[in-house]
Amino acid sequence: MNMQDLPPALALAFECQRAALAAAPAPDWATRADRLQRLQHLLADAEPALIQAIDADFGGRPAIETELAEVWPSLEAVKGALRHGRRWMAPRKAGVAKWFIPARAEVLPQPLGVVGIIVPWNYPLYLTIGPLAAALVAGNRVMIKLSELTPAYSALMSQLVTQSFSADELCIVTGGADVAAQFASLPFNHLLFTGSTPVGRKVMAAAAANLTPVTLELGGKSPAVVTPGYPLAHAAQRIVAAKLLNAGQTCIAPDYVLLPRDQIQPFVEAAQASARSGYPAGLDDADFCSIINTRHQQRLVADLDEAAARGTVIEPLFEGPQRDDARHRIAPALLIDPPADCGVMRDEIFGPLLPIVPYDRVEDAMAYVNARPHPLALYWFDRDAKRTALALRTLPAGGVTVNDTLLHIAQEDLPFGGVGASGMGHYHGQWGFDTFSKLMPVFHQARANGMSLFLPPYSATMRQMLALMKRF
Ligand code: NAD
């Protein structure tokens, strides 16, 4: 899509950022810190309103979940950038090959320019602020497209950003999938997309037309593998906790569990005990989240009905009502060994349904994971260090938490991102700074150097020198 074919307001917003970039291409630390501080204040001042807006978009998202899984990690990302950004942006000393001494070399991080960020609906705040903090600390100008499925949050965030930032520093774009597609076709210097794998493919195709580099933070089916002998009560508690957070609408939620065949019944009981003690009021529990909208509720209900109709045993995790279509809520359930071609086994579930896949030998479980598209996350429950090391060496995944769930995402020092079908590139901490920077290699020639030896016509001395260089 050419710039002339884009809606004038979108093209203008982009041109305005590009002009500001040309006028001030390399913001100093004070400018970057000021932007990050404004972001920090925005979060602190608007926290209650943001929580309320997200609650309204979900039709019931517990405030504590938004605080824990969105506000806190967002603040961590901004504070980390403020704490370390000056060091990240400093030139990084690099070695020079011995033949070039006394020259010197360095890697100089430069802002990429105008970057785009596309945000999904499931953690709308954290998936705005996390990438944004990384893009700002790296000195970029930023345009963000928010999800059409979070209209209250998107309207509030647009208003807050307009109050705290000039449009040439940071600008929010709202609208449907058509606007998102136009947004992805802007000639950004980098585009970070968080969302589904099918839409990720479209984003990459649109970016390719401009040779815009992409970071794709996608989804997929993330397995939890419980190995023989691992304490089941602990594994069940950690897996249930991760699956019920945000009612399973989490990119790194365990999508299915690989379990030793003889452990299914004890796992079911442990999972039920854990879910019922955590959410005593079941579907009406104040700590349980609604499904984002009726369409997604219907998708999950259809998946559950399909598995049941095909003879899958369904083990409910809550007592009492299992569905509330008016509030788009669905109770969590374990699905015991559903047919491989069922919806729940084919597509990312993104809800509180959890298939259990029995296995006979750990090697079979590993082969099962290996035979499928690379997942965004892997949860490996094991007390055997040698077997764990083997799993970590041989199973591909975007990220891994061993003997727990979700927590690798909360480590700012770990790169966060997918692999294969679950995405490409990464961010968080300095990894995010580097993603949004051009790490420019610079070679500084010394006054005294031997380059004149290497000019044609090539001398005998040069030939001897080259022979020496080839030997050492
Ligand atoms: P989605 O792919 O449907 O939409 C994501 C965003 O893309 C939305 O803002 C939408 O407006 C936009 N979009 C739609 N069509 C587009 C197009 N043609 N070009 C550009 N943008 C377009 O995803 P979703 O339903 O909002 O989110 C759920 C998915 O996101 C799940 O697959 C989940 O695993 C994944 N996810 C991944 C991460 C991660 O960090 N890897 C985090 C959260 C969610």
Helix (H, G, I), strand (E, B) or coil at 210: coil
- Can you tell me the mean pLDDT for 320-325? 96
Mean pLDDT of 78-93: 98
At 376, which CATH number? 3.40.309.10
Nearest CA to ligand 1 atom 23: 195
Cβ of residue 157 lying under 6 Å from some atom of ligand 1: no
Q: Identify whether the C-beta of residue 459 lies closer than 8 Å to the C-beta of residue 453.
A: yes
Ligand 1 mean position, distance from CA 241 (Å) = 24
Question: The CATH number of the domain where 82 resides is what?
Answer: 3.40.605.10
- Look at ligand 1, atom 18, and give the residue with the nearest C-alpha: 181
Question: Which atom from ligand 1 is nearest to the alpha carbon of 202?
Answer: 18
For residues 58 and 100, membership in a common domain is answered with yes
Ligand 1 pocket mutation pick from 6, 57, 118, 157 by most atoms within 8 angstroms of CB: 118
Confidence of residue 3 (pLDDT cuts 50, 70, 90): confident
Q: Which domain holds residue 237?
A: 223-417
Q: How far apart are the first and last CA of the chain?
A: 53
**CA nearest to 396, candidates 223, 196, 215, 204:** 223
- Looking at the fold, whether 320 and 354 belong to one and the same domain comes out as yes
- Domain-located, residue 472: no
Residue 452 lies in a domain: no
Q: Which letter does DSSP use for residue 427 in this model?
A: B
Mean pLDDT of the chain: 97
Q: What is the mean pLDDT of residues 249-254?
A: 98
Let me know whether 208 and 227 are in one domain. no
Is 264 inside a domain boundary? yes
Cβ 300 under 6 angstroms from ligand 1: no
The minimum-distance atom of ligand 1 relative to the CA of 348 is 32
Residue 419 CB–ligand 1 contact under 6 Å: no
Ligand 1: does its nearest atom lie under 6 Å from the Cβ of 174? no
- Which candidate, 330, 349, 353, places its Cα nearest to that of 283? 330
Residue 191 shares a structural domain with residue 244: no
- Ligand 1 centre to CA of 199 (Å) is 6
Are 418 and 216 a contacting pair, CB within 8 Å?
yes
Q: Is the CB of 249 under 6 A from ligand 1?
A: no
Residues 110 and 257 in one domain: no
For atom 32 of ligand 1, the residue with the nearest CA is 196
With a 6 Å cutoff on the Cβ, whether 121 touches ligand 1 is yes
Do 269 and 254 lie in one domain? The reply is: yes
* Residue 109 domain-assigned (yes or no): yes
Residues 277, 197, single domain; the answer is no
Evaluate if residue 365 carries a pLDDT over 80: yes
Q: Per-residue pLDDT tens for 192-201? A: 999 999 999 9
pLDDT digits (tens, 9 = 90+) for 199-244: 999 999 999 999 999 999 999 999 999 999 999 999 999 999 999 9
Question: pLDDT tens digits, residue range 379-408?
Answer: 999 999 999 999 999 999 999 999 999 999
pLDDT at 6: 85
pLDDT of residue 4: 77
* Mean pLDDT, residues 418-447 taken together: 98
Same domain, 26 and 104: yes
Q: How far is the CA of 140 from the centre of ligand 1 (A)?
A: 23
The residue whose CA is least distant from atom 22 of ligand 1 is 180
CA 146 to ligand 1 center in whole angstroms: 10
Q: Are residues 153 and 246 in the same domain?
A: no
Give the pLDDT score at 348. 97
- 462 found inside a domain: no
**Do 113 and 236 belong to one domain?**
no
pLDDT for 416 equals 98
Catalogue the E-assigned strands of 46-169: 92-94, 104-111, 114-118, 141-145
The number of folded domains in the chain is 2
CB 309 within 8 A of CB 330: no
Q: Which of 6, 119, 122, 300 to mutate to test the pocket of ligand 1 (most atoms within 8 A of CB)?
A: 122
Q: Are residues 199 and 247 in the same domain?
A: no
Point out the residues that are catalytic: 217, 251
Percentage with pLDDT > 70 across the chain:
100
Burial label for 360, CB within 10 Å (0-12, 13-18, 19+), is exposed
Distance 196 CA to ligand 1 centre (A): 5
Q: Which pLDDT score, from 0 to 100, does residue 443 have?
A: 98
Q: Is residue 469 in some structural domain?
A: no
Residue 406 has which token pair?
A: 């979700």
Determine, yes or no, domain membership for 69: yes
Question: Strand pairing of 214-217 and 190-194?
Answer: parallel
Q: Is 112 helix (H, G, I), strand (E, B) or coil?
A: coil
**Minimum CA distance residue for ligand 1 atom 35:** 195
Answer yes or no: do 295 and 366 share one domain.
yes
**Residue 99: inside a domain:** yes
pTM (two decimals):
0.96
